[in-house]
Amino acid sequence: MTMRAATPIRSIAPSVLWSAIVVAALVPVLAAVPSVLRADHVLPRSALWTDWPITPGITLSLLASAWLYVAGQRDAGAATADRPGARHHLAFFGGLAAIFLALQSPIDPLADHLFVVHQIEHMLLRTGGPMLLMLAAPQAALMRGLPSWVRRRVLAPLLGNPIVRALGILGQPAIATVLFVGTTYFWMIPRYHDLAIIDEPVHYLWHTTLLITGLIFFWRLLDTRPYPLSASLGVRLCMFWFASMGNILLGSYLSFKHGVLYHAYDAMGRYWLSPSVDEQFGGLTMWIPGSMMFAATSMLMIYRWARQEERAVARRQGTGMATLTIEEFLVSRRSANRKMAIGLLVFAASVLIISLSVALTDRYAGGTPGINGF
């Protein structure tokens, strides 16, 4: 009688398990931070931890994504080289946690009453969550986590559908950047912003568009594939520059303007802050912490590009191809490094010029009165 080969026992790697535990432990603490900023007379401190607007659709979707990711890591047939490390696991679970905090924690109900908290919520939903998820590069793990019949009968026909393939144009760097910046600017137009605060279905649409455009943008910005399968470093730096400038311009405008733009928060019952101070704090939140997140992303993007260059050299050496000396390699990269340095210098100069221009305009023009649109 023949013996069947033993099936490998699947287990969760310690790096995956501990990453999930650490992020899960931090979620309640981080969620309480914006709520504690409220004055005690607005909401009793004892109620801060109970104001979690859990909705099945969002929570189950996030849990399903986490399960697929873990299942993909447990796949015994997956190549070891394809499995990400602990940093990738932390980034993935951190991205899910950021989205959960934005939509399912006390941040969400408080955001309907404070403009500044709404900017924190959208910074997590539009920038923090998508950036961390794309840093983890989870596509392969999520695909492996799906049942084989789903991959064959559902996913493959769906990806081959002409309409779905046509939607791939949204991933072009220029279009992804315009969608990312334009979506934010559209929803910051006062009439649409106030409508989204008061009308719940429109509010859901707002959050959905912010999340989707953020995922598309950071997927292209942090794509791990080498050029020409992905965008070149110069194109990525341009994407970063336009997105950062859009963030800085809007944030600085809201920080220095005079008058009130968004009145829906008063209709909902604004907490603690006066309308003008609330909007100024919201602008500063978008301007400074938001720009810092973009700066961190740019450094990670450049680091990944450098690692790709190192791997390319290692592959050349491993395949016996003609290799470059250190001097030859430095000479070959001199032009690209010069362009990158000039690009970073232009970005820094742009930030300085815009900041000074906004401050001087507010100082000598007497500020910008509140209007009903941009």
Q: How many CB atoms lie within 10 A of CB 61?
A: 13
pLDDT of residue 37: 43
Lowest mean pLDDT among 38-42, 201-205, 300-304: 38-42
In angstroms, rounded to a whole number, what is the distance separating the alpha carbons of residues 106 and 153? 40
Lowest mean pLDDT among 41-50, 61-70, 167-176, 234-243: 41-50
Amino acid residing at 90: L
Note the pLDDT tens digit of each residue in 328-368. Answer: 555 555 666 666 666 666 666 666 666 566 555 655 555 54
Lowest mean pLDDT among 257-266, 276-285, 287-296: 287-296
Note the pLDDT tens digit of each residue in 90-144. Answer: 899 999 999 999 998 888 888 888 999 999 999 999 999 999 999 888 888 888 8
Mean pLDDT in residue range 148-162: 85
Mean pLDDT in residue range 232-259: 85
Better-scored residue on pLDDT, 131 or 44: 131
In angstroms, rounded to a whole number, what is the distance separating the alpha carbons of residues 218 and 179? 12
Q: Say which residues have a Cβ less than 8 Å from residue 149's Cβ, sequence separation at least 6.
A: none
Burial of 4 (0-12, 13-18, 19+ CB in 10 A): exposed
Is pLDDT of 27 > 60?
no
Model confidence, pTM? 0.76
pLDDT category, 42, cuts 50, 70, 90?
very low
Is pLDDT of 71 > 90?
no
pLDDT category, 6, cuts 50, 70, 90?
very low
Mean pLDDT in residue range 156-182: 88
